[in-house]
Structure 1
Amino acid sequence: MNDPMNPENWPAWATEPVEVVEANSAWSKQAEEEIAQLRELLKHLDILTFEHIGSTSIPGLSAKPIIDLMGEVQSWDDMGQIAVQLNPLGWNYVPPELDGREYRRFWVKVKDGKRAVHLHLMRPGEERWERQIWFRDVLRSRPDLVKDYAELKIKLADENKDDRESYTTAKTEFILKVLDGRL
Protein backbone atom coordinates (compact mmCIF):
# COMPACT_ATOMS: atom_id res chain seq x y z
CA MET A 1 0.00 0.00 0.00
CA ASN A 2 1.29 3.47 -0.90
CA ASP A 3 2.09 5.71 2.05
CA PRO A 4 0.22 9.02 1.48
CA MET A 5 2.68 10.81 3.78
CA ASN A 6 5.58 9.99 1.43
CA PRO A 7 6.04 12.84 -1.10
CA GLU A 8 7.02 10.29 -3.74
CA ASN A 9 3.37 9.17 -3.73
CA TRP A 10 1.87 12.64 -4.13
CA PRO A 11 0.29 13.79 -7.40
CA ALA A 12 2.28 16.26 -9.53
CA TRP A 13 0.03 19.19 -8.58
CA ALA A 14 0.93 18.70 -4.90
CA THR A 15 4.55 19.61 -5.55
CA GLU A 16 4.31 21.96 -8.52
CA PRO A 17 6.72 24.91 -8.40
CA VAL A 18 5.70 28.25 -6.94
CA GLU A 19 4.89 30.65 -9.75
CA VAL A 20 3.81 34.26 -9.18
CA VAL A 21 2.27 36.00 -12.20
CA GLU A 22 0.97 39.48 -12.99
CA ALA A 23 -2.47 40.31 -11.62
CA ASN A 24 -5.36 39.16 -13.81
CA SER A 25 -8.65 41.05 -13.80
CA ALA A 26 -10.46 37.79 -14.65
CA TRP A 27 -9.69 36.28 -11.21
CA SER A 28 -12.67 37.97 -9.54
CA LYS A 29 -15.07 36.60 -12.16
CA GLN A 30 -13.53 33.12 -11.85
CA ALA A 31 -13.99 33.28 -8.08
CA GLU A 32 -17.65 34.33 -8.47
CA GLU A 33 -18.28 31.41 -10.83
CA GLU A 34 -16.60 28.91 -8.51
CA ILE A 35 -18.56 30.24 -5.51
CA ALA A 36 -21.86 30.00 -7.39
CA GLN A 37 -21.10 26.40 -8.31
CA LEU A 38 -20.04 25.51 -4.74
CA ARG A 39 -23.17 27.10 -3.26
CA GLU A 40 -25.33 24.99 -5.54
CA LEU A 41 -23.40 21.77 -4.94
CA LEU A 42 -23.21 22.15 -1.17
CA LYS A 43 -26.49 23.88 -0.28
CA HIS A 44 -27.98 20.63 1.04
CA LEU A 45 -25.24 20.71 3.71
CA ASP A 46 -26.03 24.35 4.60
CA ILE A 47 -22.68 25.49 3.25
CA LEU A 48 -23.69 28.83 1.80
CA THR A 49 -21.12 31.32 3.10
CA PHE A 50 -18.08 31.76 0.88
CA GLU A 51 -15.41 34.44 0.49
CA HIS A 52 -12.79 35.07 -2.18
CA ILE A 53 -9.54 35.51 -0.24
CA GLY A 54 -5.82 35.46 -0.89
CA SER A 55 -3.82 37.39 -3.42
CA THR A 56 -6.17 36.78 -6.36
CA SER A 57 -8.86 38.67 -4.43
CA ILE A 58 -6.78 41.86 -4.33
CA PRO A 59 -6.91 43.95 -7.52
CA GLY A 60 -3.49 44.64 -9.01
CA LEU A 61 -1.61 42.14 -6.84
CA SER A 62 0.74 39.64 -8.49
CA ALA A 63 -0.16 36.15 -7.33
CA LYS A 64 0.05 32.45 -7.86
CA PRO A 65 -2.69 31.87 -10.47
CA ILE A 66 -4.80 29.91 -7.98
CA ILE A 67 -8.14 31.22 -6.74
CA ASP A 68 -8.41 30.94 -2.94
CA LEU A 69 -11.89 30.56 -1.50
CA MET A 70 -13.07 30.17 2.07
CA GLY A 71 -16.28 28.42 3.04
CA GLU A 72 -18.01 27.92 6.36
CA VAL A 73 -18.86 24.31 7.25
CA GLN A 74 -20.75 23.25 10.37
CA SER A 75 -18.96 19.93 10.92
CA TRP A 76 -15.83 18.11 9.85
CA ASP A 77 -18.08 15.04 9.62
CA ASP A 78 -19.43 16.42 6.33
CA MET A 79 -16.19 15.81 4.39
CA GLY A 80 -17.45 12.49 2.96
CA GLN A 81 -20.64 14.07 1.64
CA ILE A 82 -18.66 17.02 0.31
CA ALA A 83 -16.32 14.62 -1.50
CA VAL A 84 -19.28 13.00 -3.26
CA GLN A 85 -20.16 16.40 -4.72
CA LEU A 86 -16.69 17.79 -5.41
CA ASN A 87 -14.51 14.85 -6.47
CA PRO A 88 -16.24 14.37 -9.86
CA LEU A 89 -15.46 18.01 -10.68
CA GLY A 90 -11.71 17.72 -10.14
CA TRP A 91 -11.57 18.59 -6.45
CA ASN A 92 -9.09 16.75 -4.22
CA TYR A 93 -9.30 16.58 -0.44
CA VAL A 94 -6.03 17.15 1.43
CA PRO A 95 -6.53 15.61 4.88
CA PRO A 96 -5.32 17.57 7.92
CA GLU A 97 -2.43 15.18 8.56
CA LEU A 98 -1.03 16.15 5.14
CA ASP A 99 -2.19 19.78 5.20
CA GLY A 100 -0.77 20.38 8.68
CA ARG A 101 -3.49 22.88 9.59
CA GLU A 102 -6.06 21.49 12.02
CA TYR A 103 -8.22 24.62 11.90
CA ARG A 104 -9.38 23.95 8.32
CA ARG A 105 -10.23 21.26 5.84
CA PHE A 106 -8.46 21.89 2.56
CA TRP A 107 -9.56 21.09 -0.98
CA VAL A 108 -7.68 21.65 -4.24
CA LYS A 109 -9.40 21.84 -7.61
CA VAL A 110 -7.10 20.64 -10.36
CA LYS A 111 -7.44 21.67 -14.01
CA ASP A 112 -5.03 20.48 -16.69
CA GLY A 113 -2.86 18.84 -14.03
CA LYS A 114 -2.35 22.09 -12.06
CA ARG A 115 -3.91 23.71 -9.04
CA ALA A 116 -6.69 26.07 -10.13
CA VAL A 117 -8.68 26.70 -6.95
CA HIS A 118 -8.15 26.19 -3.22
CA LEU A 119 -11.10 25.81 -0.88
CA HIS A 120 -10.42 26.41 2.81
CA LEU A 121 -13.36 25.09 4.83
CA MET A 122 -13.58 26.40 8.39
CA ARG A 123 -16.08 26.05 11.19
CA PRO A 124 -18.03 29.05 12.53
CA GLY A 125 -16.07 31.25 14.90
CA GLU A 126 -12.63 30.28 13.55
CA GLU A 127 -10.29 33.22 14.23
CA ARG A 128 -8.44 32.72 10.94
CA TRP A 129 -11.64 33.41 9.00
CA GLU A 130 -11.73 37.00 10.22
CA ARG A 131 -7.97 37.43 9.81
CA GLN A 132 -8.12 36.33 6.16
CA ILE A 133 -10.86 38.85 5.42
CA TRP A 134 -9.12 41.60 7.39
CA PHE A 135 -5.84 41.09 5.50
CA ARG A 136 -7.66 41.10 2.15
CA ASP A 137 -9.61 44.24 2.98
CA VAL A 138 -6.58 46.15 4.26
CA LEU A 139 -4.66 45.42 1.07
CA ARG A 140 -7.65 46.36 -1.08
CA SER A 141 -7.59 49.78 0.55
CA ARG A 142 -3.79 50.29 0.52
CA PRO A 143 -2.15 50.34 -2.94
CA ASP A 144 1.21 51.04 -1.26
CA LEU A 145 1.01 47.71 0.55
CA VAL A 146 -0.07 45.92 -2.63
CA LYS A 147 3.11 47.12 -4.34
CA ASP A 148 5.32 46.08 -1.39
CA TYR A 149 3.61 42.71 -1.05
CA ALA A 150 3.90 42.00 -4.79
CA GLU A 151 7.63 42.71 -4.72
CA LEU A 152 8.06 40.44 -1.70
CA LYS A 153 6.02 37.61 -3.25
CA ILE A 154 8.00 37.72 -6.51
CA LYS A 155 11.29 37.65 -4.60
CA LEU A 156 10.15 34.80 -2.32
CA ALA A 157 8.76 32.77 -5.21
CA ASP A 158 12.13 32.98 -6.90
CA GLU A 159 13.95 31.96 -3.70
CA ASN A 160 11.50 29.14 -2.83
CA LYS A 161 10.38 27.96 -6.26
CA ASP A 162 10.35 24.29 -5.27
CA ASP A 163 9.15 24.67 -1.69
CA ARG A 164 5.58 25.93 -1.25
CA GLU A 165 5.69 25.70 2.54
CA SER A 166 8.85 27.81 2.77
CA TYR A 167 7.33 30.36 0.40
CA THR A 168 4.22 30.59 2.57
CA THR A 169 6.20 30.78 5.81
CA ALA A 170 8.46 33.51 4.42
CA LYS A 171 5.42 35.76 3.83
CA THR A 172 4.28 35.48 7.47
CA GLU A 173 6.19 38.47 8.85
CA PHE A 174 4.67 40.84 6.28
CA ILE A 175 1.16 39.44 6.85
CA LEU A 176 1.46 39.77 10.63
CA LYS A 177 2.67 43.37 10.33
CA VAL A 178 -0.38 44.20 8.22
CA LEU A 179 -2.73 42.42 10.63
CA ASP A 180 -1.17 44.13 13.63
CA GLY A 181 -1.35 47.56 11.96
CA ARG A 182 2.42 48.00 11.86
CA LEU A 183 2.47 48.75 8.13
Structure 2
Amino acid sequence: MTEPLSPTSPPEPVAGDTKDWTWVLERPCPECGFDPAKVSVERIPALITDAAGRFALALQQADAGVRTREGVWSTVEYGQHVADVLEVMTDRLEAILAEEGGEARFDDWDQDAAATEKEYWRANTHVTAILVKERAAAAAEAWSEPEGEQWDWPGVRSNGSRFTARTLGTYLVHDLVHHLHDVGA
Protein backbone atom coordinates (compact mmCIF):
# COMPACT_ATOMS: atom_id res chain seq x y z
CA MET A 1 0.00 0.00 0.00
CA THR A 2 1.25 3.46 -0.81
CA GLU A 3 1.00 6.60 1.31
CA PRO A 4 -2.16 8.75 1.34
CA LEU A 5 -2.20 11.36 -1.40
CA SER A 6 -0.82 14.75 -0.48
CA PRO A 7 -3.26 17.64 -0.80
CA THR A 8 -0.39 20.00 -1.70
CA SER A 9 1.61 18.25 -4.41
CA PRO A 10 0.30 16.23 -7.33
CA PRO A 11 0.94 12.49 -7.29
CA GLU A 12 2.73 10.67 -10.07
CA PRO A 13 0.52 10.70 -13.16
CA VAL A 14 -1.54 7.63 -13.92
CA ALA A 15 -1.01 6.26 -17.42
CA GLY A 16 -3.80 7.55 -19.65
CA ASP A 17 -6.41 5.13 -20.94
CA THR A 18 -6.37 5.32 -24.73
CA LYS A 19 -8.39 2.16 -25.40
CA ASP A 20 -11.49 2.33 -27.55
CA TRP A 21 -14.05 0.79 -25.21
CA THR A 22 -16.95 0.83 -27.70
CA TRP A 23 -16.61 -2.94 -28.13
CA VAL A 24 -18.37 -3.32 -24.75
CA LEU A 25 -21.59 -2.50 -26.61
CA GLU A 26 -21.30 -5.81 -28.48
CA ARG A 27 -19.89 -8.33 -26.02
CA PRO A 28 -19.29 -8.87 -22.29
CA CYS A 29 -16.31 -7.22 -20.62
CA PRO A 30 -13.93 -9.91 -19.35
CA GLU A 31 -12.49 -7.54 -16.72
CA CYS A 32 -15.66 -6.45 -14.90
CA GLY A 33 -18.26 -8.98 -16.11
CA PHE A 34 -20.56 -6.35 -17.65
CA ASP A 35 -22.87 -7.83 -20.30
CA PRO A 36 -24.50 -5.30 -22.64
CA ALA A 37 -27.19 -7.82 -23.60
CA LYS A 38 -28.58 -7.56 -20.06
CA VAL A 39 -29.10 -3.78 -20.20
CA SER A 40 -32.54 -2.66 -21.31
CA VAL A 41 -33.36 1.02 -21.68
CA GLU A 42 -35.93 0.70 -18.90
CA ARG A 43 -33.20 -0.41 -16.47
CA ILE A 44 -30.62 2.29 -17.26
CA PRO A 45 -31.86 4.82 -14.64
CA ALA A 46 -31.91 2.20 -11.86
CA LEU A 47 -28.49 0.88 -12.85
CA ILE A 48 -27.07 4.41 -12.67
CA THR A 49 -28.62 5.01 -9.23
CA ASP A 50 -27.44 1.63 -7.93
CA ALA A 51 -23.87 2.27 -9.10
CA ALA A 52 -23.86 5.68 -7.39
CA GLY A 53 -24.95 4.12 -4.11
CA ARG A 54 -22.22 1.51 -4.36
CA PHE A 55 -19.63 4.22 -5.09
CA ALA A 56 -20.79 6.17 -2.05
CA LEU A 57 -20.18 3.07 0.08
CA ALA A 58 -16.73 2.52 -1.44
CA LEU A 59 -15.85 6.12 -0.62
CA GLN A 60 -16.54 5.41 3.08
CA GLN A 61 -13.59 3.00 3.24
CA ALA A 62 -10.65 4.18 5.34
CA ASP A 63 -8.23 3.89 2.41
CA ALA A 64 -10.45 5.68 -0.14
CA GLY A 65 -7.90 8.48 -0.49
CA VAL A 66 -4.93 6.14 -0.87
CA ARG A 67 -3.53 4.79 -4.10
CA THR A 68 -3.24 1.16 -3.11
CA ARG A 69 -1.38 0.20 -6.29
CA GLU A 70 1.34 2.09 -8.13
CA GLY A 71 0.00 4.02 -11.10
CA VAL A 72 -3.69 3.42 -10.27
CA TRP A 73 -6.14 6.02 -9.03
CA SER A 74 -7.45 5.97 -5.49
CA THR A 75 -11.16 5.40 -4.87
CA VAL A 76 -11.71 9.14 -4.39
CA GLU A 77 -10.02 9.84 -7.74
CA TYR A 78 -12.23 7.23 -9.42
CA GLY A 79 -15.22 8.82 -7.68
CA GLN A 80 -14.35 12.24 -9.09
CA HIS A 81 -13.92 10.67 -12.52
CA VAL A 82 -17.27 8.89 -12.25
CA ALA A 83 -18.97 12.16 -11.28
CA ASP A 84 -17.50 13.80 -14.38
CA VAL A 85 -18.44 10.84 -16.60
CA LEU A 86 -22.03 11.09 -15.38
CA GLU A 87 -22.12 14.78 -16.25
CA VAL A 88 -20.45 14.36 -19.67
CA MET A 89 -22.72 11.47 -20.69
CA THR A 90 -25.84 13.30 -19.52
CA ASP A 91 -24.78 16.31 -21.58
CA ARG A 92 -24.29 14.02 -24.58
CA LEU A 93 -27.74 12.48 -24.16
CA GLU A 94 -29.23 15.97 -23.97
CA ALA A 95 -27.38 16.87 -27.21
CA ILE A 96 -28.86 13.80 -28.94
CA LEU A 97 -32.38 14.68 -27.81
CA ALA A 98 -31.95 18.33 -28.76
CA GLU A 99 -31.14 17.31 -32.36
CA GLU A 100 -34.58 15.62 -32.58
CA GLY A 101 -33.31 12.77 -34.73
CA GLY A 102 -30.52 14.68 -36.45
CA GLU A 103 -26.94 13.70 -35.77
CA ALA A 104 -25.57 15.19 -32.54
CA ARG A 105 -21.85 15.90 -32.31
CA PHE A 106 -20.05 15.45 -29.00
CA ASP A 107 -17.24 17.74 -27.95
CA ASP A 108 -13.98 16.03 -27.10
CA TRP A 109 -13.45 15.24 -23.42
CA ASP A 110 -10.01 14.31 -22.14
CA GLN A 111 -10.53 12.39 -18.91
CA ASP A 112 -6.85 12.49 -18.02
CA ALA A 113 -6.66 16.26 -18.47
CA ALA A 114 -9.81 16.61 -16.34
CA ALA A 115 -8.17 14.60 -13.53
CA THR A 116 -5.15 16.89 -13.56
CA GLU A 117 -7.04 20.16 -14.02
CA LYS A 118 -9.57 19.38 -11.30
CA GLU A 119 -6.95 17.84 -9.02
CA TYR A 120 -8.99 14.72 -8.30
CA TRP A 121 -6.41 13.60 -5.72
CA ARG A 122 -7.33 16.56 -3.48
CA ALA A 123 -11.01 15.66 -3.27
CA ASN A 124 -12.75 14.95 0.00
CA THR A 125 -14.36 11.49 0.10
CA HIS A 126 -17.61 12.72 1.65
CA VAL A 127 -17.98 15.58 -0.85
CA THR A 128 -17.16 13.17 -3.69
CA ALA A 129 -19.88 10.75 -2.56
CA ILE A 130 -22.42 13.59 -2.57
CA LEU A 131 -21.24 14.73 -6.01
CA VAL A 132 -21.55 11.22 -7.44
CA LYS A 133 -25.06 10.83 -6.02
CA GLU A 134 -26.20 14.25 -7.29
CA ARG A 135 -24.87 13.69 -10.79
CA ALA A 136 -26.24 10.15 -10.84
CA ALA A 137 -29.69 11.45 -9.89
CA ALA A 138 -29.53 13.94 -12.79
CA ALA A 139 -28.30 11.22 -15.16
CA ALA A 140 -30.99 8.76 -14.05
CA GLU A 141 -33.65 11.41 -14.62
CA ALA A 142 -32.23 12.22 -18.07
CA TRP A 143 -32.15 8.55 -19.08
CA SER A 144 -35.77 8.12 -17.99
CA GLU A 145 -36.93 10.70 -20.55
CA PRO A 146 -36.33 9.17 -24.02
CA GLU A 147 -39.25 7.31 -25.55
CA GLY A 148 -39.74 5.05 -28.54
CA GLU A 149 -37.67 6.10 -31.55
CA GLN A 150 -35.71 8.63 -29.50
CA TRP A 151 -33.62 5.72 -28.24
CA ASP A 152 -32.30 5.27 -31.77
CA TRP A 153 -31.44 8.93 -32.40
CA PRO A 154 -27.72 9.27 -33.26
CA GLY A 155 -24.70 11.02 -31.88
CA VAL A 156 -21.06 10.98 -32.95
CA ARG A 157 -18.07 11.29 -30.67
CA SER A 158 -15.15 13.46 -31.78
CA ASN A 159 -13.12 10.37 -32.73
CA GLY A 160 -15.89 9.20 -35.07
CA SER A 161 -17.46 6.59 -32.76
CA ARG A 162 -21.20 6.43 -33.39
CA PHE A 163 -23.78 6.06 -30.64
CA THR A 164 -27.52 6.22 -30.17
CA ALA A 165 -29.26 7.29 -26.98
CA ARG A 166 -29.60 3.55 -26.25
CA THR A 167 -25.95 2.63 -26.82
CA LEU A 168 -24.72 5.74 -25.03
CA GLY A 169 -26.72 4.70 -21.95
CA THR A 170 -25.32 1.18 -22.16
CA TYR A 171 -21.80 2.59 -22.55
CA LEU A 172 -22.34 4.76 -19.45
CA VAL A 173 -23.56 1.81 -17.40
CA HIS A 174 -20.47 -0.18 -18.41
CA ASP A 175 -18.23 2.70 -17.34
CA LEU A 176 -19.88 2.79 -13.91
CA VAL A 177 -19.76 -0.99 -13.44
CA HIS A 178 -16.16 -1.14 -14.63
CA HIS A 179 -15.01 1.57 -12.23
CA LEU A 180 -16.80 -0.14 -9.36
CA HIS A 181 -14.76 -3.21 -10.30
CA ASP A 182 -11.61 -1.03 -10.35
CA VAL A 183 -12.20 0.05 -6.74
CA GLY A 184 -13.24 -3.41 -5.57
CA ALA A 185 -16.85 -2.50 -4.84
Task: Decide: shared fold, TM above 0.5.
Answer: no
TM-score by structure 2 length? 0.31
Q: Which has the higher strand share?
A: 1
Kindly indicate whether structure 1 or structure 2 has the higher relative contact order, using CA contacts under 8 Å at least 6 residues apart.
Answer: 2
